[in-house]
Amino acid sequence: MNLSDCKAFHRYLGVLVFLLVFVSAWAQEAPAASQAAGDNSKVNQQDRQSTEPTADQQKNDSSDLQLSREVRQSLVKDKSLSTYAHNVKVIAQNGKVTLKGPVRSDDERAAILAKATQVAGEANVNDEMTVVPKH
C-alpha cells in the first residue's frame, strides 16, 4: 500500500466514522421529534363536528370576508405574537367571528381577543382558542 492509498483510506475511514456518529445521534433524537407536542390532530378532529364552525362554512358574503380579512391582518401585523397565534383560525359568519386553535400563553390569547374585538365588536367574538405552552 503506497502513501496516497493510505491517505485515501484514512479519509474514507474518517468520513465513515463521522457518518456513524451523526446517524446514531440523529436516531436517538428521532423518537422525541415524532412525539412533538405541536400535533393538533385531536383539535382538528373536534373541529370536524357538524356543530362546530369551520372555515369552509364561511359564506362568500363580502362583509364576512372583509371582517375575517381585517382580523387576520391585525394578527399577522403583530410580530410579537407566535406562529401559533398568527395561524389561529378566524371564521366569520353573519358578522360574528369565531377564533379557534392553539396559542402559546394567556397573554397571547388576550392580545388576539383584543384585536378581534377591536375589529368586530365585543359581542361579536367567540373565543374557542386553547393555550398550549411551549415545551
- Same-domain check for residues 16 and 65: no
Rounded distance between C-alpha atoms, residue 108 and residue 70, angstroms: 18
Rounded distance between C-alpha atoms, residue 131 and residue 4, angstroms: 62
- Same-domain check for residues 110 and 74: yes
Residue 8 structural domain: 1-32
Q: Can you give the pLDDT of all 135 residues of the chain as single tens digits?
A: 676 776 777 777 777 766 666 666 656 554 444 444 555 566 555 555 556 666 666 667 888 889 999 999 999 999 999 999 999 999 998 899 999 999 999 999 999 999 999 999 999 999 999 998 877
Question: Considering its fold, how many domains does the chain have in total?
Answer: 2
Nine cell digits for residue 42? 385531536
Q: Within a domain: residue 117? A: yes
The residue type of 33 is A
- Decide: pTM greater than 0.75: no
Q: Within a domain: residue 37? A: no
CATH code, 94: 3.30.1340.30
* Per-residue pLDDT reduced to its tens digit, 27-44: 655 444 444 455 556 655
